[in-house]
Structure 1
Amino acid sequence: MTRRAVIAGSGSALPRQRVTNAELAERVDTSDEWIVERTGIRARHLAAPDETTATLAADAARAALDMAGIAATDIGLIVLATATPDQTFPSSATKVQAMLGIDDCVAFDVHAVCTGFLYALSVADSMVRTGVADHALVIGAETFSRILDWEDRTTCVLFGDGAGALVLKAEEGTRGILATRLHADGRHNDLLYVDGGPSTTGTVGKLRMKGREVFRHAVVNLSAVLGEVLGAAGLEPADVDWVVPHQANARILDATAKKLGLPPEKIVVTVDQHANTSAASVPLAFDTAVRDGRIKRGDLLVLEAMGGGFTWGAAAVRY
């Protein structure tokens, strides 16, 4: 039998403050109609000063552990995907480890922006399959509100804060992560980036994006990697029960589904309530669909994302 990383539980965490488009329009030159028409976003959650990437990640991890029925002390690996860590170092994963009361395990951050969770999942899958750990936490957590330029109405309305987590458990059988595929192309740095960093400006910087160009690349890259990962798993689009995509923009989700010939009712959409939470968006959407009953045991899922870099990737999973 094949040792696989099976999703044993999921969890999510959102900041206390929920901000609708109408509320956002009170501080930014925008409107509910303008945001909904272009993005499908209706609300987002914004972190308070006492809510950080690590605290949200820990809350999501606790919820995932509870669903899985696994004690935190059984976790041997924590991989945390984030572009907004609490500190430059140490990793936010080690902070989560301490918050969960785990004395010793492998713990590190992965930075691939919106594709970060797919990168983290692929790394954790490899480490579980090769016996590094029997139980792993894979987390995507962000506080993007900290790096937004609130004077740039074309970008600040797009993002929100939150965290999502999966517990992976080593099992033998046909369930689990079937295949992953990852890509990067650093030639497109100037289309989506933050204009700061420790070794350049010495400051955190703010997010900058050329939305139209990003949209064009996203549709092409995401449809290609979805086809690629299905091929690697020996599957066809018709076999898929649910696509759990990065929640960046409703128009990207629609265009990608059409390009693959997938019906819209198979796409998990939460962008309307969470906005773009970067590395947190895929696990947040996954947990939402599990808890509301859409995703059921035995379903075939495809997870996908694309982010700055550019990076992009996908995973085929039998839940």
Structure 2
Amino acid sequence: MTSKIIGAGNYIPSDAVRNSFFENHDFMDKNGQILKEDNHTISYKLHQITGIEERRYVDQNTVTSDIGFIAAQKAIEKSGINPETLDYIIFAHNFGDVPFGTVQGDTVPSLAARVKHALGIKNNFCVAYDLLFGCPGWIEGVIQANSFIKSGIASRCLVIGAETLSRVVDIHDRDSMIYADGAGAVVIEACSSGEGILSHLSASHTHKEMDYLFFGKSYNKQSSGETRYLKMNGRRIYEFAIVNVPAAMKKCYDDSGCSIDKLSKIIIHQANEKMDEEIVKRFYALYSKEMPSEIMPMVIGKLGNSSVATIPTLLSMILDNELENHEISVGDIVLFASVGAGMNINAMVYRF
């Protein structure tokens, strides 16, 4: 027995923030010095490296649990189930509900509990909990839900990934341009027909790599006080990812028993277009093959990096035929993969 996706939904904020939005920002280095490059050049280089032209932000009255609820509602509607039949609601995020104008996360009650309440579910044995696992959190939530189903303690689960990263970034750090807001969700249930999850893998690299993503003070030494923001060591993350993620993907794919020639799509965390391309090229090189064209759908150019939301958002878009030149048909084999804070890596092979 395994589990399969029976409904997927997402929430993509309507507010498209183009790179020109950052033209008047005062970007600084970690020592508090204004960067020598002008903001137009910084924006140009960001686009060249990451592929990002714009990203989406939620409106001022919206928090992470709100958009997680919307994505969950859509996934439930697509699945056609009664939400009272859900055994688990797993909400992957990293910062909780962060009201506009603050950077303090609110996680009591849990975001999963808030979504369960908003859905009107009265079943007390529908267990709602949050999952913090960096950007790979949504895949990890699906892996956990699958384990519950395979063990027989659950038959149907809702897994949500949502984040409002625009609320936790340092406006004086050019890395803030990468981050975005969004939500995605799926309903999964027990399956024994040959479709669904074929294999999965998770790893946590914490010896030397734990703090490649971290919370730190603003680069503006004059205004931040003790407030802390999302920070990253981009070079180390890149070097870590291109070495470790392809190997993890291959191990997971080999465990599925599928031929590499049967792989239809790779849905990878949308963190950096060039990094993702290098990861997938190296993955195929491990099989002595060239990376096929159209194997890796990308939406980071328009949606930015919304952390745990990137993969379920992209999956929902493909299933709803919203992405040109990309579709998933019955029998297609898809490899999911992600990397993020921790440093955590995971992967999953799925037959539709």
Q: TM-score, normalised by structure 2?
A: 0.84
Confirm or deny that 1:265 pairs with 2:294. yes
Q: Which of 75, 83, 97 is equivalent to 1:72?
A: 83
Q: Find the counterpart in structure 2 of residue 4 from structure 1.
A: 2
Instruction: Tell me if structure 2 keeps the 8 A contact 1:257–1:263.
Output: no
Q: Which amino acid aligns with 1:251?
A: K
Q: Which has the higher helix share?
A: 1
Report the 3-state secondary structure (helix = DSSP H, G, I; strand = E; otherwise coil) of the residue aligned with 1:226. Answer: helix
Alignment of 1:161-240 (within 5 A): 161-187=181-207, 188-195=209-216, 205-240=228-263
Q: Compute the displacement of 1:60 (Å).
A: 0.4
Q: Find the counterpart in structure 2 of residue 283 from structure 1.
A: 312
Instruction: Tell me if structure 2 keeps the 8 A contact 1:6–1:175.
Output: yes
Q: Compute the displacement of 1:84 (Å).
A: 1.7
Instruction: Tell me if structure 1 keeps the 8 A contact 2:336–2:349.
Output: yes
Confirm or deny that 1:60 pairs with 2:71. yes
CA distance in 1, matches of 2:115, 2:260: 37
Q: Compute the displacement of 1:246 (Å).
A: 0.2
Q: Find the counterpart in structure 2 of residue 156 from structure 1.
A: 176
Report the 3-state secondary structure (helix = DSSP H, G, I; strand = E; otherwise coil) of the residue aligned with 2:346. Answer: strand
Q: Find the counterpart in structure 2 of residue 309 from structure 1.
A: 342
Distance 1:313 1:48, change over 3 A: same
How many residues get paired? 310
Q: Find the counterpart in structure 1 of residue 150 from structure 2.
A: 129
Q: Compute the displacement of 1:21 (Å).
A: 1.3
Instruction: Tell me if structure 2 keeps the 8 A contact 1:248–1:271.
Output: yes
Q: Find the counterpart in structure 2 of residue 93 from structure 1.
A: 112
Query: Cα RMSD between the aligned structures?
Result: 1.6
Q: Which amino acid aligns with 1:92?
A: L
CA distance in 2, matches of 1:28, 1:122: 42
Confirm or deny that 1:41 pairs with 2:41. no
Deviations 1:249-280 (CA, angstroms, capped at 9, x unpaired)? 00111101211223241102111111111111
Q: TM-score, normalised by structure 1?
A: 0.93
Q: Compute the displacement of 1:317 (Å).
A: 0.5
Q: Find the counterpart in structure 1 of residue 140 from structure 2.
A: 119
Report the 3-state secondary structure (helix = DSSP H, G, I; strand = E; otherwise coil) of the residue aligned with 2:78. Answer: helix
Instruction: Tell me if structure 2 keeps the 8 A contact 1:194–1:208.
Output: yes
CA distance in 2, matches of 1:25, 1:239: 45
CA distance in 1, matches of 2:327, 2:312: 14
CA distance in 1, matches of 2:308, 2:203: 15
Q: Which amino acid aligns with 2:244?
A: N
Q: Find the counterpart in structure 2 of residue 200 from structure 1.
A: none
Q: Which amino acid aligns with 1:145?
A: S
Instruction: Tell me if structure 1 keeps the 8 A contact 2:186–2:312.
Output: yes
CA distance in 1, matches of 2:190, 2:128: 18
- Structure 1 residue runs of 5 or longer lacking an equivalent are 197-202
CA distance in 2, matches of 1:252, 1:236: 25
- The percentage of counterpart residues that share the same residue type is 28
- Structure 2 residue runs of 5 or longer lacking an equivalent are 28-38, 98-105, 218-225, 285-290
Q: Compute the displacement of 1:230 (Å).
A: 0.7
